[in-house]
C-alpha cells in the first residue's frame, strides 16, 4: 500500500463514471464529464466543463482546459460504432475548446505524444498521429489521418488536408493552406502553401544549426540547392542525395521526401519561386 498516494479530487458537480480509472492526484473540475473507458494518469488536471468519453488513455501531468472534448465519435461518415481509442502521453497542455476525435475503424487509434501545446479551438481529427513537443496554434483544423512529427510548429487559423505528413521541426505559417506534405526542418507559408527555406531559428534553438561545427546546416543548405534549385526532377535529385554521406539530419530529410513521393502519399509541397 502506498501511504504517500494522493487520492483524486473530484468536484461534486462533475460526472465521473465509477468504472473510470483516475491516478494519484488527479483533479476533476466542476461539471466535467468522464466516461467509463477513460484512464487518467497521475496529477492530470481536468478543468471545468471538459468532456472525455469513449476509450481514452491519458498519461501523467496533463492539463485539459475548460470546454475541451476528447475521445468523442469521429466526424467520419464511415464510422459504424467500432471500438476505437485516443492515446495521449504525458505533460500536454490542451487548451480551451480543443477537440480530439477517436479513430474510425476497429483497433485503430488517434495518438498524441508528450509535452505538446494544443491552443484554443484547435481540432485533431480521427486517426491522426502527433509526436512530442509540437505547438498547434489557435483555430487549426487538422483533418483525419494527418501525421505531425516532433517539434513542429503549426501557425494559427489554418487547415491541414487529410493524410498530410508534417516533418520534424517544420514551421507552418498562420493562415496557410496545407494540402501536401511539409518536409522536416522547413518553413512553409502561403495559400497554397509553399516552401520558403529552412526553419533556421528552430534549428538554432535545437542546437542542430551548430552541430559538428555547423556541418549539419551546411549539409541542409547543400541539399536545398540540390533538391529545389538544381533544376533536376525531385526523384533524380533524391537519387543524387542518396549518393552523399549524410548525417542523421540529412538522412531524415531525404527519407521523408522519398516516402512522400511514394504511391498513396500526397507528395511534398513545392518551393516558392526564386
Cα(113)–Cα(129) distance, rounded to whole angstroms? 8
pTM: 0.97
Q: Residue 211, Cβ neighbours under 10 Å: how many? A: 16
Q: Mean pLDDT score of the chain, rounded to an integer?
A: 97
Cis? peptide before 85, omega within 30° of 0? no
Please say whether the beta carbons of 230 and 237 come within 8 A: yes
Cα(78)–Cα(84) distance, rounded to whole angstroms? 13
Residue 77 has pLDDT above 50, yes or no: yes
Residue 134 has pLDDT above 70, yes or no: yes
Cα(112)–Cα(71) distance, rounded to whole angstroms? 12
SS3 187: strand
> Cell numbers 494518469 correspond to what residue?
41
What domains sit in the chain, N to C, each tagged with a CATH number?
9-145 (2.160.10.10), 201-260 (1.20.1180)
Q: What is the pLDDT of residue 5?
A: 86
Q: What is the pLDDT of residue 1?
A: 42
Grid cell, residue 238, equals 533524391
The proportion of the chain whose per-residue pLDDT surpasses 90, expressed as a percent, equals 96
Amino acid at each position: 500500500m502506498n501511504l504517500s498516494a494522493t487520492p483524486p479530487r473530484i468536484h461534486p458537480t462533475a460526472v465521473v463514471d465509477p468504472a473510470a480509472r483516475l491516478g494519484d492526484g488527479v483533479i476533476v473540475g466542476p461539471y466535467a464529464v468522464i466516461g467509463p473507458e477513460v484512464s487518467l494518469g497521475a496529477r492530470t488536471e481536468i478543468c471545468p466543463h471538459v468532456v472525455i468519453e469513449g476509450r481514452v488513455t491519458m498519461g501523467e501531468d496533463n492539463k485539459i482546459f475548460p470546454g475541451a472534448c476528447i475521445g468523442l465519435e469521429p466526424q467520419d461518415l464511415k464510422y459504424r460504432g467500432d471500438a476505437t481509442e485516443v492515446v495521449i502521453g504525458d505533460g500536454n497542455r490542451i487548451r480551451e475548446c480543443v477537440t480530439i476525435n477517436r479513430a474510425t475503424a476497429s483497433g485503430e487509434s488517434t495518438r498524441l505524444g508528450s509535452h505538446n501545446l494544443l491552443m484554443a479551438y484547435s481540432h485533431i481529427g480521427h486517426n491522426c498521429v502527433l509526436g512530442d513537443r509540437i505547438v498547434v496554434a489557435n483555430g487549426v483544423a487538422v483533418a483525419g489521418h494527418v501525421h505531425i512529427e516532433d517539434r513542429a510548429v503549426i501557425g494559427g487559423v489554418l487547415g491541414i488536408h487529410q493524410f498530410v505528413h508534417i516533418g520534424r521541426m517544420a514551421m507552418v505559417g498562420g493562415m496557410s493552406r496545407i494540402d501536401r506534405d511539409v518536409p522536416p526542418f522547413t518553413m512553409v507559408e502561403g495559400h497554397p502553401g509553399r516552401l520558403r527555406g529552412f526553419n533556421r531559428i528552430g534549428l538554432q534553438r535545437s542546437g542542430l544549426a551548430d552541430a559538428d561545427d555547423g556541418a549539419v546546416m551546411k549539409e541542409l543548405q547543400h541539399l536545398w540547392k540540390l533538391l529545389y534549385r538544381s533544376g533536376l526532377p525531385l526523384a533524380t535529385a533524391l537519387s543524387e542525395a542518396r549518393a552523399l554521406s549524410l548525417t542523421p539530419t540529412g538522412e531524415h530529410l531525404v527519407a521523408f521526401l522519398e516516402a512522400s513521393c511514394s504511391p498513396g502519399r500526397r507528395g511534398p509541397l513545392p518551393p516558392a519561386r526564386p
